[in-house]
Amino acid sequence: MDNENMKSLKIYLAAGVIFSAVLGTLSHFFYEWSGQNPVVALFSPINESTWEHMKLVFFPILVWSLLLPAGIRKDFPAMRCALLAGGLLGTWLVPVLFYTYSGILGRDLALIDIGIFYAAVLAAFWTARKLRDSERAEKVCPFILFISAVMLLAFFLFTFAPPDIGLFAEP
């Protein structure tokens, strides 16, 4: 890979971190700002449950993966699946880190919750960068796409019909 291609990839990933952090932060408020529009509810948190806050990581990274430039896609064929894999990791880091620290402290703190969101976004893009040239990521791409589609459908379904378990309860 020449330096120009690697530079383009680094810029794309750095821009993705910023895009995902900003869009995720703003999307925390989209549902209220929209007057509780049910379409907006599919993509933005509708309450303070951990599950709903996982959307803050998942959807911006999904959108960013769809904006993958053709040149990067050509030079790094595994990049889209690497982004989706990173997005899945980042999405699931939210509940893992939240329940770990709040279980240890016995309560949750907004500042730590915010830090978890940004850490999850960084972890997602770090993972994507590490998997960018991975033949394994290319080989398991259909599985990554399947799991991403399942997550998408789960977010849509559980927005309006959440199971009665802690992950979906408001703290």
Structural domain count of the chain: 1
Other Cβ atoms less than 10 A from the Cβ of 144: the count is 22
Name the token pair of 90.
């980042």
* pTM, entire model: 0.94
Task: Give the H or E element holding residue 58.
Answer: helix 50-66
**Over the stretch 117-149, which tens digit does the pLDDT of each residue have?**
999 999 999 999 999 988 888 899 999 999 999
Are the beta carbons of 144 and 88 closer than 8 angstroms? yes
Task: Say if CB 121 and CB 62 are below 8 A apart.
Answer: no
Q: Looking at residue 1, what is its pLDDT? A: 57
Domain that holds residue 98: 3-168
- Predicted pLDDT of residue 114: 98
Measure CA of the first residue to CA of the last residue in the chain; give whole Å.
48
Q: What is the pLDDT along the chain (171 residues), one digit of tens a residue?
A: 577 888 999 999 999 999 999 999 999 999 999 999 999 999 999 999 999 999 999 999 999 999 999 999 999 999 999 999 999 999 999 999 999 999 999 999 999 999 999 999 999 999 999 999 888 888 999 999 999 999 999 999 999 999 999 999 987
For residues 145 and 85, give the distance between their C-alpha atoms in angstroms, rounded to a whole number. 9
What distances in angstroms separate CA 129 from CA 47, 100, 143, one per listed residue?
A: 32, 26, 19
47: closest CA among 31, 59, 33, 60? 31
Contact present, 79 and 132 (Cβ < 8 Å): yes
